[in-house]
Amino acid sequence: MRNHDGVLHLSATDLAGHLSCAHLTALDAAVARGTREKPKYWDPLGDILRARGNQHEQAYLDHLQDAGYEIVQIGDIGLNRKAADETAAAMRDGAAIISQGVLLHERWGGRADILRRVDTPSELGPWSYEVIDTKLARQTSGASILQLCLYADLVARVQGVVPESVYVVVPWSDFEPQRYRTSDFFAYYRLVRQSLETSVANGNGAQTYPDPKLHCDICRWRHQCDARRRSDDHLCLVAGSTKLQIKELQRRGIETVEALAGMPLPLQWKPERGAVQTYERLREQARVQVAGRNSDEPVYEALQPEPGFGLARLPAPSAGDVFFDLEGDPFCGDGGLEYLFGWVTLNLQGEAHYTARWALSREEEKSAFEAFVDYINARWQQHPDMHVYHFGGYEPGALKRLMGRY
């Protein structure tokens, strides 16, 4: 987001950010207007992902060049008129591939990874261009599709027709682009674009709040937003609370964790959504958290076991139980690498024993995978009542991928 003579110019990044969080839009607009400072933060993982993204894009360009395509590189850094004019000239000249093309129209701008010439007539001549983006993610996100729709819209301003499709090239796909029909997504793109334009025009920073979002994990504003929520003692700080429950409590005049901790029990009102017991549980959770703030030691209260709930749903322990964890790098080599297999079992004396198998190559990964599967099969024969415990769905999914690979 950039300020030009009082008008905020917007990019594909702003569009994706607005889809993730309206408060992010308000904060970025304040920076563009000069009323806030841009946050400085260290993001080593982001730096690594950007470097790998550049490598993936270059690998695709090399693939196109090896296939005989001539590539026009728009070298100017930044979204400026000179680079946009160079891009438009290359399109009029019928370049087969345009790399890092800059597209501008009114307040909108973007830099497309790849513009590929296709045999669809346009105002340029008997050809036109479609947009290809290179992405590291295995699955294309809604934000990525919105960005591609913006590029397609900007391309249409140059050639007079909207590209029929947009494409994404992901790693380990033999550089085969995934196709998305523009018409399937364009109405939603226009809706989000209009929402962003309205948001920055109204300067609605005062009306937005840093509610927790999935985007917080990668957002440059996350520390500032977290500090705001803690300063406000916001209800989202209550462990296990949901957005619907927070809204219900706020309708009842309960705005803070401390206020919730002091709410009378039994509950004095009937929730519009959810059970009474849910809000009583949240109240008790808030009470324990507030007590912990004023203590030098962690405060906790153990729940009474209930049949069919919580840990009581686990199967009976077995001497053969295995506690398993995998560590992997999805961007290592061609297709990622599961580089550490670790599991804990109990020995004959009932003591925990940890086994680790490192895998820093394909051969070692295959060997570790085979060794673990053989170990589990042998242990299953010895202990038919055993179970393998793991964290979420990553481990089963990874083992299935390894089974397919080897």
Which of residues 167, 188, 205 is at a domain's end?
205
**How far is 189 from 195, CA to CA, in rounded Å?**
10
For 54, the 3-state DSSP assignment is helix
Peptide bond before 384: cis, by omega within 30 degrees of 0?
no
**Claim to verify: residue 325 and residue 260 sit in the same structural domain:** no
Instruction: Please say whether the beta carbons of 336 and 328 come within 8 A.
Output: yes
CATH code (residue 114): 3.90.320
Q: Identify whether 216 is part of a domain.
A: no
> The tokens of 23 are what?
């408060």
CATH code (residue 281): 1.10.150
Q: pLDDT of 111-152, one tens digit each? A: 999 999 999 999 999 999 999 999 988 789 999 999 999 999
Q: Identify whether 279 is part of a domain.
A: yes
Residue 72's H or E segment, with its range, is: strand 71-73
Q: Identify whether 220 is part of a domain.
A: no
**Claim to verify: residue 271 and residue 335 sit in the same structural domain:** no
**Claim to verify: residue 258 and residue 331 sit in the same structural domain:** no
pLDDT at 204: 60
pLDDT at 69: 96
**Claim to verify: residue 263 and residue 344 sit in the same structural domain:** no
Q: Identify whether 59 is part of a domain.
A: yes
**Claim to verify: residue 168 and residue 42 sit in the same structural domain:** yes
Number of domains in the chain: 3
Residue 301 phi, psi (nearest 5): -135, 125
pLDDT at 98: 98
Residue 276's H or E segment, with its range, is: helix 276-293
Q: Identify whether 217 is part of a domain.
A: no
What is the span of the domain harbouring residue 91? 2-205
For 403, the 3-state DSSP assignment is helix
Residue 395 phi, psi (nearest 5): -60, -50
Q: Identify whether 222 is part of a domain.
A: no
**Claim to verify: residue 70 and residue 146 sit in the same structural domain:** yes
Q: Identify whether 27 is part of a domain.
A: yes
**How far is 105 from 107, CA to CA, in rounded Å?**
6
Query: Residue 59 carries which DSSP code?
Result: H
> The tokens of 117 are what?
């010439």
> In sequence order, what DSSP letters do the residues of 104-163 get, joined into one string?
EETTEEEEEEEEEEES--BTTBS-EEEEEEE--SSS--HHHHHHHHHHHHHHHHHHSS--
**Claim to verify: residue 357 and residue 391 sit in the same structural domain:** yes
**Claim to verify: residue 251 and residue 105 sit in the same structural domain:** no
Q: Identify whether 194 is part of a domain.
A: yes
**Claim to verify: residue 128 and residue 42 sit in the same structural domain:** yes
> Which pTM value belongs to this model?
0.84
**Claim to verify: residue 259 and residue 336 sit in the same structural domain:** no
Residue stretches of the chain with pLDDT short of 50:
none
**Claim to verify: residue 112 and residue 242 sit in the same structural domain:** no
Query: Residue 256 carries which DSSP code?
Result: B
**Claim to verify: residue 129 and residue 174 sit in the same structural domain:** yes
